[in-house]
């Protein structure tokens, strides 16, 4: 909200797709910060219960080996969500930069911000 407010005070308009993509990336970061805990929590419980109950250590090791899937999922998150987001942001930045450069050449730098 602060960034959009600052941009609107200076007469800049933020593309609605950029706002939506920014919202999606914030949600994605929040979810991806919870996912490691969700995958590691069962392994921690199994390890702790091994000391307090009569679980076979072999069975405990097999179950624990099934849970560390977060490192395998991280490249997919980067490839399918973060990479397109970065490309779109770079494209918008380049458009703004080109508009600013052309306005500087024409001597109308203030006009490109309105």
Burial 85-102 (b: 16+ CB within 10 A, else e): eeeeeeeeeeeeeeeeee
pLDDT of residue 89: 78
Ordered mean pLDDT values, 10 residues apiece, the chain (114 residues)? 64 68 78 72 76 76 68 65 76 77 60 48
Q: At what angle do helices 70-77 and 16-52 cross, to 10 degrees?
A: 180
pLDDT of residue 114: 46
Cα 42 to Cα 46, 48, 54, 100, distances in angstroms: 6, 10, 17, 54
Burial 33-49 (b: 16+ CB within 10 A, else e): eeeeeebeeebeebeee
Q: What's the pTM value of the predicted model, to 2 decimals?
A: 0.35
Residues 58-91 have pLDDT tens digits of: 777 777 776 666 566 666 666 666 777 778 778 8
């Amino acid at each position: 909200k602060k960034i959009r407010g600052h941009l609107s005070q200076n007469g800049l308009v933020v593309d609605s797709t950029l706002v939506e993509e920014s919202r999606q990336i914030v949600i994605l970061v929040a979810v991806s910060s919870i996912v490691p805990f969700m995958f590691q929590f069962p392994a921690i419980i199994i390890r702790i219960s091994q000391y307090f109950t009569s679980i076979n250590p072999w069975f405990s090791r097999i179950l624990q080996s099934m849970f560390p899937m977060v490192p395998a999922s991280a490249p997919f998150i980067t490839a399918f969500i973060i990479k397109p987001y970065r490309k779109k942001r770079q494209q918008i930045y380049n458009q703004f930069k080109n508009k600013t450069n052309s306005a500087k050449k024409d001597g109308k730098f203030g006009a490109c911000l309105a």
